[in-house]
Amino acid sequence: MKLLITLIGLVLVLEGLPYAVMPEKMQAWLRQLLAATPGQLRVMGIVAMAAGFLLCYLTQRTGWLP
């Protein structure tokens, strides 16, 4: 449970960092997201999830990182 809470905290830090460092750029990027079609957003979500699963697999099941 301690690891899960730590990971959630790390995700929140990483998610909030761009908004704190460059808020104007984030607003522009969010406007671009609003202009994207649902299909484009779905593909971006699937690619992000696949990259996340691959990263989790490589770090947990292989000797990729010590």
18 within 8 A of 26, measured Cβ to Cβ: yes
- Check residue 63 and give its pLDDT: 75
The mean pLDDT of 51-60, rounded to a whole number, is 89
Question: What average pLDDT does the structure give for the chain?
Answer: 92
What's the longest Cα–Cα distance across the chain? 42
**Whole-structure pTM value:** 0.70
How confident is the model at residue 40, as a pLDDT? 96
pLDDT surpassing 90 at residue 36: yes
pLDDT tens digits, 9-30: 999 999 999 999 999 999 999 9
